Structure 1
Amino acid sequence: MDLSDGLRDSLKAYLGWGKPRLDCFVSMLLALLNARQMNLSLLAVHIDSDTEIASRYRRMQRFFSQVFFDYNDIAHLIMNMFAFSGQHYYLTLDRTNWKWGKSNLNILTLAVVYQGAAIPVYWMVLNKRGNSNHRERMALLQRFISQFGRNHILGVLADREFIGGEWWKWLSSKEIPYLIRIKENQVMTDKHGKAMHVRSLFANLTPGKQRILRHRREVSGEWVWLSGSKLPSGELLIVASNHYTPDPIDTYRLRWEIENLFQCLKGRGFHMEATHFTKPPRIKKMMALLAIGFCWAHKVGEWKEKTVKPLKVKKHGRKEQSIFRYGLDYLTDLLTGSGREALDNLRLVILFLCPPQFMVVEDGRMRLKPFSFNTNSMG
């Protein structure tokens, strides 16, 4: 079994496509790891095929225009890859946007906080410029809840774009905690009915210090706990929450993982902005390809750090390289090297979908538990 066969069989258990479409998807996935640019012209060159480059290009065009994607299936694939089922996790929401010609490309993404770079699960292409609205956010999160429930959600983390009374009330009605940054000039009302800007509660903080208020204030029609920290720049970071937590600022900072995700999908990884897609359905399908490629590289990076060579930690306290980039470099080197070995390929296929329960520690090293290599054992 070669790498393409292993990937096709693994993905078939989730995606339900026939062999021709799975073959096309796998070819694009491997080409993406080689080219590191989400551009069909470049992917066509990197696809391993005896057909003409123009034929490969047209085949990819047909794939993105004709193939139906079940995004619930893709979400289950991703959640299973990281064995999130049964775990508790924070979710984070954010947008990434760029411009191609006169088209504004704008993707709202819901991701799971995980080891420094959030894992994308659902996304929505906004056919407009600017911020999302509460209906779009609710639709995205409701889709997640319909598939995975809400009992394991520790909270939703989001930046200043994601404020608003209707959105907050909906989260509270679903009993979902949230930690959302608000603007310094946001108006609040205390228990005595006095209105003021929230920054007045944290005006005397010095850089690096933070304060957690013990009593709730009314913001956007919701009674919330407020906490604040003064950044080294002098800017205030103020967080609103519908539940009390002892470390709201540190928890909110986990939101930055989705920024790291977008960097991996853009300039530090797959250069998604190189795409010439402008139609929302095709951009959404493209995001599925990128998400699966990102998750695979991240999984391989985790495996390499645990079993091959740990990443060094520099003086500033951060690792010399992201786990994603560690795995991506290894995969690209393996795919482009002349001495690829079947066992290495099969190991990485297994790691592609292998959650921790299939791993065992022997002699201080992570190894695979014995099991037959088929889609049932990986599902």
Structure 2
Amino acid sequence: MELNDGLRVILKGHLGWGKCRLDCFAGMLLALVRLKRMNLTQLALGFTSQADPKSRYRRLQRFFQEVVFDYDAVADLIMQLFDFQEKSYYLTLDRTHWKWGEKNLNILTLGIVYQGTAIPVYWRVLNKPGNSSQRERIALLQRFIDRFGRRGILGILGDREFIGDQWWQWLSDQGIPYLIRIKENQLLDDERPVRSVFADLKAGKSRALRKRRRIGQQWVWLSGMKLDSGELLILAGNQRFSQPLEIDSLRWEIEPLFQCLKGRGFHLEETRLTHYFRIKKVMALVALACCWAHKTGEWKHRVIRPLKIKKHGRKEQSLFRYGLDYLTHSLLQGLQDIEDRFRLLVLFFCSPDRVGVSELNPKIMAIRL
């Protein structure tokens, strides 16, 4: 079984496309991992085909123009890849933004905090620069809840742009805990800025208020810390978290995701596609490639060679980079051993702790077309 054929078999059970479109998507996925460039011209050159490169390029263009994506099915696949439906997790919300010419490309992303990064599950392309609206955030999270429920959600984390009465009230009505960083000049119910209740903190010190305070129409628990820079980090939540500052640190794990999608990974900003619906499809391709690389890094860390922990307490290399380098090297060198092909396929649809060499062949052969 060729690797491209195996990917087609796996993806067919989730995406429901015909053979031609599945072949195209699997070919782009392999080319993206080989070249680490989300640029159609480059992908066409890395796309395994006997056709002329110009014909391949037009084929990729038509794919993003014509193929309809079921983003719920993509989310199902991602959730299954990491067994998230059997776990509890924090959600994190943020945007990544860049420009191509005069066009603003602005993607609001909902991810699950996971092992030093965030795994993208749903995303929304904003046809504007700047912050998302409360309505857009609610719609994105509602789609997640409709598909996967609230049971596994420990809380949602966000930066200072994710404030607003309507948004916070909706989260409370849904029974979803939130912990959001707020601005120092946010006004309390007595018209004082919120920084006034943390003004006496010294650098490195923190405090959690014992009573709720009202911001706008919402009663929230407040906690704050003075950073070494002198800036205040102030958090608002609709429940009293036992360690709010430690939990808030998980919010930053969406930044490594954006680095993986962009400059340190697949160079998403190099795409020349700018249409709303096409960018959303591109994000699905890059998100699945990111998940594959991360899962491969987990497996290699667990089975082949554990990453060293450096003096600062972090791994010598991210799991994403560890896995991506392994995949890229394997694909560029050529997979001669059939067991290597099976291993890469298994890593794409099995939880890393379930992967063993003896399982590779039976698992692949058990897939039904």
> 1:9–1:374: 8 Å Cα contact kept in structure 2?
no
| Cα 1:203/1:196, change in 2 over 3 Å | same
**Which of residues 350, 362, 369 in structure 2 aligns to 1:354?**
350
Alpha carbons of structure 1 residues 102 and 354: separation in structure 2 relative to 1, 3 Å: same
Distance, in Å, in 1 between the alignment partners of 2:321 and 2:330 is 14
Q: 2:342 touches 2:360 (CA, 8 Å); kept in 1?
A: no
Structure 2's unaligned 5+ residue stretches are none
TM-score (norm. length: structure 2): 0.97
Question: Residue 335 of structure 1 corresponds to which residue in structure 2?
Answer: 331
Deviation sequence 1:204-259 (CA, Å, 0-9, x none)? 21222211111100012100000011112111110000001110111011011111
3-state SS, counterpart of residue 111 of structure 2: strand
Relative distance call for 1:374 and 1:220 in structure 2 (3 A) is farther
**Which of residues 246, 262, 286 in structure 2 aligns to 1:250?**
246
Aligned twin of 2:16: 16
Q: Distance in 2 between matches of 1:305 and 1:251?
A: 25
Give the residue type in structure 1 aligned to 2:345.
V
Distance 1:216 1:35, change over 3 A: same
Displacement of 1:195 after TM fit?
A: 2.8
SS of aligned partner of 2:114: coil
- Whether the 8 Å CA contact 2:198–2:224 is kept in 1: the answer is yes
Q: Where do 1:142-221 residues align within 5 Å?
A: 142-189=142-189, 194-221=190-217
Higher alpha-carbon deviation: 212-221 or 75-84: 212-221
Residue 307 of structure 1 is matched in structure 2 by: 303
Q: CA deviation at 1:356?
A: 5.5
How far 1:171 sits from its partner (Å)? 0.3
Contact 1:13 1:375 in 2 (8 A): no
- Please give the per-residue CA displacement for 1:63-87, whole angstroms capped at 9, x wherever unaligned: 0000000000000000000000121
Partner SS, residue 192 of structure 2 = strand
Distance in 2 between residues matched to 1:358 and 1:246, nearest whole Å: 34
**Distance in 2, Cα, partners of 1:271 & 1:52:** 25
% identical aligned pairs: 59
* Equivalence for 1:324: 320
Distance apart, 1:340 and its partner CA: 3.5
Q: What RMSD, in angstroms, separates the aligned Cα atoms of the two structures?
A: 1.7
1:87 alignment partner in structure 2: 87
1:118 partner SS: strand
Q: Distance in 2 between matches of 1:349 and 1:199?
A: 52
How much has 1:368 moved relative to structure 2? 4.3
Tell me which amino acid in the other structure corresponds to 1:58.
Answer: R
Count of residue pairs brought into register by the alignment: 369
Long gaps (5+) in structure 1:
361-365
- 1:168 and 1:338 mapped to 2: Cα distance? 52
CA distance in 2, matches of 1:367, 1:314: 33
Aligned with 2:129: secondary structure? coil
SS across alignment from 1:161: coil
TM-score (norm 1): 0.94
Deviations 1:300-324 (A, max 9, x none): 0000000001111122221111100
DSSP 3-state at the match of 2:7: helix
CA distance in 2, matches of 1:340, 1:113: 36
Q: Aligned to 1:162, what secondary structure does the other structure show?
A: coil
Aligned to 2:273: 277
Q: Does 1:373 align with 2:369?
A: no
Contact 1:83 1:356 in 2 (8 A): no
Equivalent residue letter for 2:349:
L
Q: C-alpha separation between the residues in 1 aligned to 2:335 and 2:70?
A: 37
Q: Distance in 2 between matches of 1:151 and 1:232?
A: 38
